[in-house]
Amino acid sequence: MTPGARASAAIEILTRIDSGESPPADKAMADWGRGARYAGSKDRGAVAGMVYGVLRRRGQIDWWLKRLAALEPGETPSARLRLVIWLALGEGWRLTDMEASFTAAQHSASPIDQREKRILIELGSQEGFSLACQPVAVEGNLPEWLEEPVTALYGEDMARQLSAHGEEAPVDLRVNGLKGDRETLIARLAAEGIAAEPTPLSPIGLRLKERRPLTGLASFKEGLFEPQDEGSQLAALLCDARPKGQVVDFCAGAGGKTLALAAAMENSGRIVACDVSEARLKRAAQRLKRAGAFTVERRHMSTERDKWIKRRAGRFDGGFDRVLVDAPCTGSGTWRRNPDQKWKMTEADVEALTAKQSAILDSAARLVAKGGRLVYVTCSLLEAENEARVAAFLAERQDFFAHPMAEIWAESIGDAAPYPGKADAENLRLTPADHGTDGFFVAVLGRKL
């Protein structure tokens, strides 16, 4: 593909992401890739760089368009205009580069117009996206309404934290302990041309030295590993699920953490993987089979207050040692992977999600045996979805208490890695800037005897 054809493809993908159809960026990229058989690996990498570059810098890109008076009153920035700014400030293209590449030949983008020429001329001496006069939300590439809660969370460290959210996420793998160990998998991947090294915090994780396709590998098909962010691996380990235990994965989805729990329990005991989506549970079945995890019962629930929960709680007073609530959330901790999602979030979305999270916690708690644990996890940054939800739950449920997280780490992970949180904290926050993981929140709530 020519540079102009790559730019044309990026414009097409970005336009689709911004459309009423509005698929997530990773899906839009995958859909394009399936239809673009002619695109080689370098082409795909270049197009992805353009798409994710625009999405990660969208706040500053739109600010520059306004500063340059490049928009008519009421005009919404187009995917093409945003890409022009990205190419100029993110990839160093100049006016001559775009005139040579945007030719409409060989599937290239159409020639640049007078407005775009003026933008490129005015940006000719600008290096990078930042200017001292940019507002905090713009510098952090945030929607304006998110500035207050994120500033309250990060304070003076906000710029560093948000900068890390704008970087590309690594590819992490969780070693399937039912079929091998890290050293064996490192050697197996090396034989398949994949270089990997141990993750710094998770004792069951590997990190690829470069991004590579994985699903075609024999080691993947044999169930030796699953792609899973290191933070997600740690959240599963902090459940401290043990062999012969009784565990519920209350919001199991497609089974990522369920698989980790099954490995930790050495295929013994019982795991009930619950979800309101039957389709996700069907996908989980395929993954469980590949991993050789045979102690998992999948249960489709109508809502978070499904009748099965009431029956189970009534007969056995909960009866489960561990109940994991990997709650539906804004996913703001995964902005490295899904930078488009921050621009689709609204305050109303957060309000609806926090109500749902509280309802799920309240219902899931009924399944926890006396002396058992309720583990609350999100991949969100926002205090409203994290500390506030735990505080509200504990205020209502006097029979639960928060375990100090340093103690939970010592029990479940031990000295395999140093505890990465605050020594006296009742929860664990992981961030890309501090830990190299996606943003995660974990709280472990014990039920009193």
**What residues act catalytically?**
379
Strand 205-208 vs strand 400-402: parallel, antiparallel, or unpaired?
unpaired
Distance from the Cα of residue 208 to its chain's centroid: 17
Measured in degrees and rounded to the nearest 5, phi and psi for residue 262 equal: -60, -40
Query: What is the spatial distance between Cα 53 and Cα 289, in angstroms, rounded to a whole number?
Result: 37
Strand 400-402 vs strand 225-227: parallel, antiparallel, or unpaired?
unpaired
Q: What is the DSSP letter of 144?
A: G
Residue 58: closest CA among 168, 169, 170, 166: 166
Distance from the Cα of residue 80 to its chain's centroid: 27
Query: What is the DSSP annotation of 321-360?
Result: EEEEEE-----GGGTTT-TTHHHH--HHHHHHHHHHHHHH
CA distances to 76, 118, 152, 223, 320 from 342, in Å: 17, 30, 17, 33, 36
Q: Are 4 and 109 in contact (CB under 8 A)?
A: yes
The tokens describing 198, both together, are 């141990």
Query: What is the spatial distance between Cα 204 and Cα 291, in angstroms, rounded to a whole number?
Result: 15
Query: What is the DSSP annotation of 50-98?
Result: HHHHHHHTHHHHHHHHHHTT-S-TTPPPPHHHHHHHHHHHHS---HHHH
Q: Are 95 and 119 in contact (CB under 8 A)?
A: no
Strand 296-300 vs strand 225-227: parallel, antiparallel, or unpaired?
unpaired
Mention every residue, 6+ apart, whose C-beta is less than 8 A from residue 171.
Answer: 207, 208, 211, 212, 214, 227
- The CA angle 343-349-355, to the nearest 5 degrees, is 155
